[in-house]
Amino acid sequence: MSETSGRASGGYQGRIRTAQPEDLPE
């Protein structure tokens, strides 16, 4: 839930810091 919401609101930016760049939305 929060993962999908965060991604839509740009939460992927903070997530990519600990995740791989391949996890980016586009």
pLDDT tens digits, one per residue of 2-20: 555 555 566 666 665 665 6
Sign of the alpha-carbon torsion through 2, 16, 7, 24: negative
The Cα-based distances of 8 to 1, 23 in angstroms read 11, 14
The pLDDT value recorded for residue 5 is: 56
With 60 as the cut, is the pLDDT of residue 25 above it?
A: yes
User: d(Cα 20, Cα 1) in Å, to the nearest integer?
Assistant: 20
With 60 as the cut, is the pLDDT of residue 22 above it?
A: yes
Provide the 3-class DSSP secondary structure of residue 9: coil
User: d(Cα 2, Cα 22) in Å, to the nearest integer?
Assistant: 20
Global pTM value: 0.13
Are 24 and 16 in contact by the 8 Å Cβ rule? The answer is yes
